[in-house]
Amino acid sequence: MATAPPAAAAASTDANRPCADDSADDLRSLSFNSAVSAVDTVKRSPSSGSETTWTASSFVSASSFKPHAHAPSDDPCRDAIQRAREARDGSKLGLGDLRFMYRLGSGDIGSVYLAKLKGGGECMFAAKVMDRKELAGRNKEGRARIEREILEMLDHPFLPTLYATLDCPRWSCLLTEFCPGGDLHVRRQRQPERRFGESAVRFYASEVVVALEYLHMLGIIYRDLKPENVLVRSDGHVMLTDFDLSLKSDKPASAAQLVSDQDGPACDDPAERPPFAESSCIIPSCMVPAVPCLHPRRRRKKKPGGPRGSLEIVAEPVNIRSMSFVGTHEYLAPEIVLGEGHGSAVDWWTLGVFVFEMFYGATPFKGIDNELTLANIVARALEFPKEPSVPGPAKDLIAQLLIKDPARRMGSTMGATAIKHHQFFDGVNWALLRCTKPPYIPRPIDYKDFVKADSSADNSMEYY
């Protein structure tokens, strides 16, 4: 099979997003077996990143290897890295030790390739390659540094495992897990009527909730939740990816506290919430008519024998604020659009948009252009399409997450704890999510799949 330089690879998954391949000719010396892109064109607004608070830092050439508590002891990827290190007598691995097989996509600060270690067996990795010269020229070094620091912190079954960092004077590479099931944006488009059923939405949303909860407890605000960033692992469970827009606190979240759910927000009781059709609100200064959501609090009656009044361990929200305008337009929270400063509640807003899109196949505030989309987010009331039919508890969850006032949004006070108790998640065993049967398990992927893809002009496979 002919070798092609990465510069000849197919276009980015989003033509509007900057690509870090302008100077990719320097990668010609690396081993590329294929340069055919295998991803759909994503016609969503690109991620915005006017983050100016980070300071540039120099990268140190190194190769890291950190075992994770949740990782299986027989992880073939770790074994492959260990064999490669032993073959080099324990010396650091470099980009020359990788064989790049396939371009999976590109983002704002780098491109992602399917890669294997030379002499490391058949284990495949997702290698995010970043051009340091371009990062410095575009003032993106800080974002790359933050992503690397966050990946080094993570140790969770629904978040990426950073197997190694490979550096050279021109390039920096993050070697993480390859997810053969693709992302939920592509998976949704392949569903009947391009939307998921209730059980699938509940499964994916529950795993996203616990992943966000873990990030918040580390003092990290994700800020870029969308179906494109939720990947399906080989076992059918999900993995959040792409942390270059995340906000990382120098201090972890506040210490965990025991909180009675009787002291939680008034909207935690479905019986006493306003109907979902009245749950969206607008910023008071807006002139566009909408249904307000600022209802007076009412004291809830104690229900004998019920779970109400029990103590909960809460380690959220994160005590960190930012004024940055970052995220994907259709998923931006109102407080980000208005530039009023935002905290961890923006992640629960994006969860609401995420669940809405999984059910309806579209985001709730999308306009004909980005400007109108932002105006809708701030001023337009939430409306549910008549079709398809979506269960009432799902609509109520979406409505509580898409409250425009962040102080009243579900999750703003008790974090994931309040969301887990919502009626939509009844029956979810949060302690045993890993044991829940996924709605979809991808078929095993091997090298032959990519050889066939190269020889097929109408290739329709999507990975990552």
For position 43, what pLDDT does the model report?
A: 43
For position 406, what pLDDT does the model report?
A: 93
For position 212, what pLDDT does the model report?
A: 95
Name the token pair of 419.
């969301």
Is residue 20 pLDDT above 50, yes or no? no
For position 446, what pLDDT does the model report?
A: 63
Nearest to 393 by CA among 361, 359, 439: 359
- Average pLDDT of the segment spanning 260-270: 45
> What CATH topology corresponds to 190-435?
Transferase(Phosphotransferase); domain 1 (1.10.510)
Work out whether the CA dihedral 187, 190, 193, 198 comes out positive or negative: negative
Q: Domains of the chain: which residue ranges? A: 6-180+443-454, 190-435
What are the beta bridge partners of residue 127?
Answer: 113, 175
Nearest to 369 by CA among 329, 327, 328, 324: 329
In this prediction the pTM is 0.75
Specify the higher pLDDT residue, 450 or 140.
140
- Average pLDDT of the segment spanning 412-421: 91
CATH 3.30.200.20 holds for 6-180+443-454: yes
For position 333, what pLDDT does the model report?
A: 93
- Average pLDDT of the segment spanning 1-25: 35
What are phi and psi for residue 124, nearest 5 degrees? Answer: -110, 150
Q: How far apart are CA 194 and CA 144, in angstroms?
A: 34
Specify the higher pLDDT residue, 94 or 283.
94
For position 461, what pLDDT does the model report?
A: 30
Q: Are strands 325-328 and 47-50 parallel, antiparallel or unpaired?
A: antiparallel
Confidence of residue 313 (pLDDT cuts 50, 70, 90): low
Identical fold for domains 6-180+443-454 and 190-435, yes or no, is no
- Average pLDDT of the segment spanning 315-333: 78
Catalytic member of 97, 167, 224, 261: 224
Confidence of residue 251 (pLDDT cuts 50, 70, 90): low
Is residue 209 pLDDT above 50, yes or no? yes
- Average pLDDT of the segment spanning 260-275: 44
- Residue range 372-402, pLDDT digits in tens: 999 999 999 999 999 999 999 999 999 999 9
Residue 224 bears catalytic tag: yes
